[in-house]
């Protein structure tokens, strides 16, 4: 039986008026592009809510290009500058780079400048700059950290950042979404870092294929904000453009403490029926993971590398030295001493986290165990400050262990969670942290 043309027209009109199921990524990009909805594969121009860069990626590169163009910053209030790579200054080159950043910030009257306060990916959220619904860009590959707050944030190079700084806009292709759904609950001694190393080991460093990766499920919802930040941060190691987590009460509580304006968390989630590819994981079955040199993709359960001798244990970087990370390391080391001949370095991710750790007695537990306290900066993670030496084995809480990244090309760098790195410092070899915690 045929349907009358008038009825078909009414049905079509009704369907057109209904909201199409959208992923979280599509909703964020649609808002930024001033549209009701966007489709995967479309190329759209988006307004940028926030542009972040640091002393290495920012003024020393942008200043001469802006001067050559005779261009001005579109909106200084939407720019955040963080000095975290070349501080504290150790030589003439680092002093020159930091001086350029400080002078440019003063000349441009930038209202949001954080000098030697910690790592950009930690400091910027701690000051309430990244909120649900925003579209942000960062002059650093780990800028997807902002996705932990329900914002679409990704890293760009200096030329793209120049365009943003002058126009306040950027184009992008609406990505497909890969949803990493985690059921269950993480066991004691297992962290977001282990979740990420497991996913990178499974999918490789191009597993995200420049798509949007969304982390979801009961195990993700149970994570603290700092643990969520680790997931989103290391979506870069999956090759993703963005690493997203739907905001909730945990997000709102963190932002309220950071002094951010009240944020609506209710609108930012993936609709039922939205087009995506989902992978499921069982958090309860996950064991601590370790990535062997020279790639995060060389990741397997800690038992595969147990017993490997180490010389240096490094607890630092935006993926391994936030307050939650320092607490985890202290839980392993409190009341103990690191193994003879082992160097344990602790470089808190921000001044705020360092002072809170001090107030809680966490720093005292680490230093009494034998830790050397280093400045709150990117430090050895990116080969600055006190890089790793020749022919040593390092186990680190950093996001990457590429050859030569932390210093000497002959250094062998393993990656693990703060629990795992602290356990290695205690035993002098790669160790399952659950053995120590038990």
Question: pLDDT tens-digit profile of 148-178?
Answer: 999 999 999 999 999 999 999 999 999 999 9
Mention the CATH class of domain 176-245+259-285.
alpha beta
Residue 1: its pLDDT value, please? 36
The answer to whether the Cα torsion of 80, 85, 90, 95 is positive or negative is negative
| Structural domain 292-437, CATH architecture | 2-Layer Sandwich (3.30)
Enumerate the domain spans of the chain. Answer: 44-173, 176-245+259-285, 292-437
Residue 5: its pLDDT value, please? 42
Q: Classify each residue of 9-21 as buried b or exposed e, where b means 16 or more C-beta atoms within 10 Å of its C-beta.
A: eeeeeeeeeeeee
Edge-to-edge strands of the sheet including 312-316?
A: 299-301, 289-291, 412-415, 393-396, 312-316, 343-347, 372-373
Q: Classify each residue of 127-144 as buried b or exposed e, where b means 16 or more C-beta atoms within 10 Å of its C-beta.
A: bbbbbbbbbbbbbbbbbb
Phi and psi of 295, rounded to 5°?
-155, 140
Contact 86, 94 (CB under 8 A): yes
Q: Which residues of the chain have pLDDT under 70?
A: 1-18, 208, 385
Phi and psi of 125, rounded to 5°?
-65, -35
Decide yes or no: CATH 3.90.550.10 for domain 44-173: no
Residue 287: its pLDDT value, please? 98
Burial class (CB in 10 A: 0-12, 13-18, 19+), 239: middle
Check for a shared fold between 44-173 and 176-245+259-285: no
Contact 31, 24 (CB under 8 A): no
């Amino acid at each position: 039986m045929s349907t009358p043309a008038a009825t078909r027209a009414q049905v079509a009109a009704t369907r057109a008026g209904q909201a199409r199921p959208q992923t979280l990524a599509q909703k964020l990009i649609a808002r930024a592009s001033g549209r009701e909805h966007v489709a995967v594969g479309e190329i759209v121009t988006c307004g940028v809510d926030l542009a972040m860069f640091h002393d290495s990626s920012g003024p020393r590169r942008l200043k001469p290009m802006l001067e050559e163009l005779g261009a001005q910053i579109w909106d200084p209030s939407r720019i955040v500058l963080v000095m975290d790579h070349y501080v504290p200054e150790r030589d003439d080159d680092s002093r020159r780079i930091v001086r350029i950043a400080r002078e440019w910030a003063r000349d441009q009257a930038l209202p949001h400048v954080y000098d030697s306060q910690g790592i950009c990916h930690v400091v910027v959220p701690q000051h309430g700059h990244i909120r649900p619904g925003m579209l942000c860009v960062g002059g650093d590959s780990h800028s997807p950290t902002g996705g932990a707050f329900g914002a679409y944030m990704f890293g760009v190079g200096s030329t793209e950042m120049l365009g943003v700084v002058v126009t306040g806009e950027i184009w992008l292709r609406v990505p497909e979404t890969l949803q990493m759904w985690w059921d269950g609950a993480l066991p004691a001694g297992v962290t977001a870092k282990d979740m990420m190393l497991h996913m990178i080991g499974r999918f490789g460093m191009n597993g995200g294929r420049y798509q949007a990766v969304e982390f979801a499920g009961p195990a993700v919802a149970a994570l603290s904000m700092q643990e969520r930040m680790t997931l989103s941060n290391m979506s870069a190691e999956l090759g993703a453009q963005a690493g997203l987590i739907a905001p909730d009460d945990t997000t709102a509580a963190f932002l309220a403490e950071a002094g951010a304006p009240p944020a609506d968390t209710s609108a930012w989630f993936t609709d039922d029926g939205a087009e995506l590819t989902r992978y499921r994981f069982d958090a309860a079955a996950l064991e601590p993971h370790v990535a062997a040199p020279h790639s995060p993709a060389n990741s397997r359960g800690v038992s595969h590398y147990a017993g490997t001798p180490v010389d240096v244990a490094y607890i630092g970087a935006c993926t391994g030295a936030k307050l939650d990370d320092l607490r985890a390391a202290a839980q392993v080391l409190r009341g103990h001493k690191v193994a003879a001949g082992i160097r344990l370095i602790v470089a808190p991710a921000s001044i705020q986290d360092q002072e809170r750790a001090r107030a809680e007695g966490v720093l005292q537990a680490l230093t009494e165990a034998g830790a050397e306290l280093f400045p709150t900066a990117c430090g050895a993670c990116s080969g600055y400050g006190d890089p790793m030496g020749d022919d040593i084995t390092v186990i680190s809480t950093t996001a990457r262990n590429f050859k030569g990244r932390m210093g000497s090309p002959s250094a062998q760098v393993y990656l693990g969670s703060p629990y795992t790195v602290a356990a290695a410092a205690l035993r002098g070899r790669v160790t399952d942290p659950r053995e120590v915690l038990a």
